Structure 1
């Protein structure tokens, strides 16, 4: 496998300084990322990337979105698929702001990403700082944005189904627990 330090993709628009960014959650969706960065990011998509030795989890809770949000945790037996971008450096501050770096919600993590047989080094991604003890499900809006990004940017169909099953399973489990709690509350109240 070849290593790529600062490979210049064919789609590169200008000579301004750039950084590699690996998105695995809502930022996989270029339309949603545009909301935070202020301009179209489709031209900066390199493509499908693989983060080895990490696992996807919903260990973050967004008060803004009122739901669980994705995180990655180290796991030598797993991998996470996502979208590899080469973004202009001018987006760096807004990306940190979106990810809540100043509030210590997420922090930057530098990783290696595999894309089409090459290894991209010094790629920025974000991980939750204060991880929850158990996973919290996403709401429907977050669920849809994550899937839309995965499909739009060409992640393998099998992985898109994996994302769907993961998010849907957490939602179902949450609904079942919520219904059990409501039944127990009614029994206690009526006793």
Structure 2
């Protein structure tokens, strides 16, 4: 999505038919136990989430959700991606927009594995999410365990996946620009060598 020269490349993903997705959701949710999951980083992109969970996750998207009294920060370091990754921290004056999923319970372990729970990278946190004029209780999200003292820039791959997920799942245009500007500014002005943060989140 971005490079260090400041040039921007756009990758647009066409969403599936909303009515078709709604019908698929009804059928899937009636068949097996599920849990709610709020994604605010790379997992907002159903294509990238499919890579970890092993099946198409687009039908499990409920829609854009809002996490109140939290702020979006790049306080995580990913050893696999060797760059800064997103985190949410409590802040009574802020909110975070992301994607609300209703996932089959059988995918829970794979989601924990993706988030590095057993390695102490992220931990589960239970939150309330506001979506489509409803409040969803007992929603799972993930927060960085060992937070960096300063925000660390994402690499271009992470930049692209986060923004593509936001656009694909219909997050407000203003919020998509907010994400773009935040990541672009970090890449320009606050790039910290990954070697300084070995084996952290």
Q: TM-score range by the shorter chain?
A: 0.7 to 0.9
User: Gaps spanning 5+ residues in structure 1: where?
Assistant: 1-8, 179-191
Superposed CA offset, 1:33-61 (max 9, x none): 00000000011000000000000000000
RMSD: 1.3
SS in 2 for 1:65: coil
Q: Partner of 1:160 in structure 2? A: 176
Rg larger for: 1
Q: TM-score, normalised by structure 2?
A: 0.82
CA distance in 1, matches of 2:168, 2:151: 26
CA distance in 1, matches of 2:79, 2:58: 28
Q: Partner of 1:135 in structure 2? A: 151
Superposed CA offset, 1:129-169 (max 9, x none): 00000000000000000000000000000000000000001
CA distance in 2, matches of 1:122, 1:150: 23
Q: TM-score, normalised by structure 1?
A: 0.86
Q: Structure 1: which 4+ aligned runs deviate by more than 4 Å?
A: none
CA distance in 2, matches of 1:119, 1:20: 12
Q: Partner of 2:6 in structure 1? A: none
Contact 2:151 2:190 in 1 (8 A): no
Q: In structure 2, which of residues 117, 129, 137 is the aligned counterpart of residue 101 of structure 1? A: 117
* Count of aligned positions: 169
CA distance in 2, matches of 1:20, 1:102: 20
User: Gaps spanning 5+ residues in structure 2: where?
Assistant: 1-21, 194-201
